[in-house]
Chain A
Amino acid sequence: MSERPGERHIIKSAVRLLPLVFLTVFFFYPLLAIFRLSLAPQGHLDPAALSKLVSTTYYARTLWFTTWQAAASTLLTVVLALPGAYVFARYRFPGKNLLQALTTIPFVMPTIVVAAAFNALLGPRGRLNLTLMALLRLQHPPINLQHTIWIILLAHVFYNYTVVLRIVGGFWANLNPRLEEAARVLGADRWRVLWQVTLPLLAPALVAAALLVFIFCFTSFGVILILGGPRFATLEVEIYRQTMNLFNLPLAATLSLAQIALTLLMTSVYTRLQARTGRPLKLHPRQTTQRRPATWRERALVGGNVVFMAALLLTPLLALAERSLWTGSGYALTNYSELFVNRRGSVFFVPPAEAVRNSLIFAILTVGLALVLGIISAYLLADRESRLNRWLDPIFMLPLGTSAVTLGFGYIIALDRPPLNLRTSPLLIPLAHTLVAFPFVVRAVLPVLRGIHPHLRESASVLGASPARVWREVDLPIVGRALLVGAVFAFTISMGEFGATSLIARPQIPTMPVAIYRFLGQPGALNYGQALAMSTLLMLVCAVGFLGIERFRYGGAGEF
């Protein structure tokens, strides 16, 4: 409010512009290139690609499939996760914190690892089929889910279960149980309470969670590509195929355009809802809303959900680890040691250890960039006085809803020529990863930043702390843990990012997910084993990182 010296003001404004400049160059500029390529490939307006999109039913069917599989996945996820959210919100039981941490692991798993994990559990050579074949003396695997819609839906539920659990469960935990009790006393039975009190109160969180899950499934890539096989294609997969296999860039660009428009619509609805979930209700501290299960019915409910979560979320990951150690005749580390051998003497062979190194370097760069941009953006958004926020918030969320493949595709066509030629620069990968990761940093930091009561800073100031000291002693320690959460999110996202990387990574410098995809694409038990070994390594890195941050969450804050 007070006037500041001009010079500092200019520096401040420049810093504030940084996220917008970054978004402009590495997000909007590539998107614009996509626009141009799709609508005017030869420099003049040419709606050929656009009309092709409409004239053949193939793309309409792709869009239809993308939408209904996302809707079905969302519905399934919400229905399956609601009882779990209730159990987490209202009951205390031993091992709850550990279980809560474990349930989040799938969400930070790279798609490629999830695909490999489901393969390891349910695939023709998967644990379940091998066990059943041995038990029932069968010649062929009895479960054949590979390349069916069911395995896609299952993987999506696996992936997003925790989104619903966290958002809805977190909100539910802070709802005053007295409201439900009041309704019971007024004569409503359990179902009436659920329909007329609980669900309406939960609605904002429920809709926000569902929308987020829908967005994730709508832009699903790795799961569809690997588990769905050639029969299934979402818009995202179609963009990838048109680009990589058919080199039909104008059509890919048009598809990207359609997808951006749809996700933009959904993300803006999401941010509006998100802003609203914070306000209307008086929330209660969790200690007062939770209790131990008392009756056998409650114990059965809690136990049933715990078993279900373990079966759904942990068995595929355990199967992955188990399969990676399997050599066909016993357990050994063969698959892991093979990672370091170039059997075929291929010139394009990159020692997998190097893929690990590449991934780590890119991830560290991504963390640094995403933190800087994320902090600045979060401060911009936390400023209640600013009227820009309504616009900035969905804009900063945009990269989250934009498909990674589209992004990578945009980089290929926009950043490969002057004024900005980064096509040969390995920097392109961390830049793309930063775009995907920094919204997560913003989402992790923003609620904590907004939650710092202005009185805290004012108290420090009145007590004699200079502005710099106020930041160091009040903001930093409080936001610190959220920053760490954001950092680990950025790290795991970069480690596992596959969509954009698969397009822009140069053959000589692959990342871990790219290497896994290559192994999966080659025949033979050894390649399959190596893919599983690499996936297990990636899983461990992400899981360790994530379990680490679970201890640092600030009072359960954070929007994801």
Chain B
Amino acid sequence: MSLLEIHHLTKYYGEERFPDDISFTVDEGEIVCLLGPSGCGKTTLLRIIAGLEIADAGQVLFEGRDIRDVPVHRRNFGLMFQDYALFPHKNVFENVAFGLRTMHLTETEIGAGVSKILELVGLSGFEKRDVNLLSGGEQQRVALARSLAPRPRLLMLDEPLGSLDRTLRERLMNELRTILKGVGVTAIYVTHDQEEAFAIADRVVIMNHGRKVQEGTPQDVYQHPATEFVAQFLGLTNLLPGKVTSVSEDHVTVETKIGKLEVGGWKLEVGGWKLEVGGWRLGVGNWRSGVEATVLIRPEAANPAECPSAGDNIVAGTLMERSFRGGTYRLVIRHASGLHLSFTIPASGVDLPDVGAPVSLPLRSEAISLLTPDPRP
């Protein structure tokens, strides 16, 4: 049994539903990330779990019990807001001690609890400081310490790094996971930033328009985006419509604007278990000839080391952009159909044509996948 189970949660806003029939579970000690563009219903979902809002349909089960009638302050959850919501009239110590003070502890116990948690977040000695005068990063730590101090059974974080600048965010991202894992708290983390989600989460739930679109480990989701939306949201932009022309034992051939593409890789079957290698997992049997599909070409699919030969899996066009990124080059190629595709290739040992010159690149079939097209509204 999972610690937290969300069953078909729905909330109506007029005609719209945010969230719309969401279900997922969180296991003890797990960090689950709700990832999606802003306005997709992630925050509302958190607020429903915290008890700050009431769902119109669905259930929230905690340790197997429906907690609908448990008032907010008796749930013993933690919630960290994007704006931190630090009490402006209390100093760092009193902010962190707030939750402990509702627990009938002695002053000594409270003092010990606060200094322990402040040490954990690296703010020892900040007890007497005015929270209004702290930097953004420091406020973020105080907010984290405050929500961790009463040892919540479930910690929810709503875009906790959202209002920090990029450098600080990257540093705190890794630190945050270390702290959360060190404490062993079960956590739900809401963000619209995939990098953040991948760095922090054990499991990711991707949402769009109030609905869950995919769930899985960060690697899983990145390797196998389930839909066009997920691919785009994860920054994978080489998407083109196509039609399946043939399906064979180990690959699928798709007809697209830029020519025939072979999608697949090789796979082994060992004792009835499918061992999958490369970028394609969907069973070949899921695709049939004549079916519409969206083709995703990963940026790392281009393989300039191989001598381009005529045939399938070649993208040919004009080089529009060539920018050096340290270890790699980023290329943008314009196909005759007007389509732009971007690729990342290793910077070493490659002779690249000039911008404006024709170019053709072979593509690795295992870095090409097929996605279910998003329903068009």
Q: Which residues of A contact B (CB under 8 A)?
A: 1-2, 453, 455-456, 458-467, 469-470, 473-474, 477-478
Contact = CB atoms under 8 A, between A and B. Distances in A.
Contacts of B51: 462
Count chain A CB atoms within 10 A of each CB in B76, B87, B147 and give the residue with the most.
B87
B358 interface: no
Contacts of A456: 85, 87
A470 B87 CA distance: 11
A478 B79 CA distance: 22
Interface in B78-99: 78-79, 81, 83, 85, 87-90, 98-99
Interface size class of B (residues with CB under 8 A): 20 to 34
Contacts of A459: 79, 81, 85, 87, 146
Contacts of A469: 73, 102
A465 B102 contact: yes
Interface string B10-25: 0000000000000000
Given A473-B98, A478-B89, A464 B150 contact: yes
Nearest to B75: A462
Contact of B78 (A460, A463, A466): A463
Contacts of A462: 50-52, 72-73, 75, 77-79, 147
Contacts of B88: 478
Given A1-B53, A458-B79, A464 B89 contact: no
A459 B149 CA distance: 13
10 contacts: A455-B85, A458-B50, A458-B52, A458-B79, A458-B85, A462-B147, A463-B73, A464-B76, A469-B102, A473-B87
A392 B83 CA distance: 31
A470 B150 CA distance: 16
Given A466-B102, A473-B87, 12 more contacts: A453-B85, A455-B83, A458-B50, A458-B79, A459-B87, A460-B98, A461-B52, A462-B52, A463-B150, A464-B73, A464-B74, A465-B98
Contacts of A477: 89-90
Nearest to B85: A455
Interface SS of chain A: helix
A461 B85 CA distance: 12
B54 A2 contact: yes
B98 A461 contact: no
Interface SS of chain B: loop
B83 A461 contact: no
Contacts of B54: 1-2
A478 B132 CA distance: 14
A453 B73 contact: no
A464 B83 contact: no
Interface of B: 50-54, 72-79, 81, 83, 85, 87-90, 98-99, 102-103, 146-147, 150
A460 B101 CA distance: 11
B333 to A, nearest CB: 40
Contacts of A466: 73, 102
Nearest to B76: A464
The 3 lowest CB-CB distance pairs between A and B, nearest first, are A455-B85, A464-B102, A463-B99
A454 to B, nearest CB: 9
Contacts of A478: 88-89
A472 to B, nearest CB: 11
Contacts, number: 67
B85 A465 contact: no
Contacts of B77: 462
A235 to B, nearest CB: 45
A368 B15 CA distance: 48
Given A1-B53, A1-B54, A458-B52, A464 B99 contact: yes
Nearest to A478: B89
A465 B73 contact: yes
Contacts of A464: 73-74, 76, 99, 102-103, 150
Contacts of B75: 462
A355 B74 CA distance: 55
A139 to B, nearest CB: 64
Count chain B CB atoms within 10 A of each CB in A2, A453, A463, A465 and give the residue with the most.
A463
Contact of A461 (B53, B72, B89, B90): B72
Contacts of A453: 83, 85
A462 B98 CA distance: 11
Count chain A CB atoms within 10 A of each CB in B50, B102, B150 and give the residue with the most.
B102
Contacts of B79: 458-459, 462
Contact of A463 (B52, B53, B98): B98
Count chain B CB atoms within 10 A of each CB in A459, A465, A470 and give the residue with the most.
A459
Nearest to A470: B73
A453 B98 CA distance: 17
A478 B87 CA distance: 9
A195 B53 CA distance: 47
A465 B99 CA distance: 7
A2 B50 CA distance: 14
A1 B89 CA distance: 27
Contacts of A463: 73, 78, 98-99, 102, 146-147, 150
B190 to A, nearest CB: 14
A458 B43 CA distance: 14
A456 B78 CA distance: 13
Contacts of A474: 87
Count chain A CB atoms within 10 A of each CB in B52, B78, B90, B147 and give the residue with the most.
B52
A145 B73 CA distance: 67
B146 to A, nearest CB: 7
Nearest to A462: B79
Nearest to B80: A459
Contacts of B74: 464
A460 to B, nearest CB: 7
A406 to B, nearest CB: 41
Contacts of B147: 462-463
Contacts of A461: 52, 72-73
A456 B146 CA distance: 12
A466 B71 CA distance: 9
B221 to A, nearest CB: 29
A480 to B, nearest CB: 9
A455 B47 CA distance: 11
Nearest to A459: B85
A478 B50 CA distance: 24
A462 B102 CA distance: 11
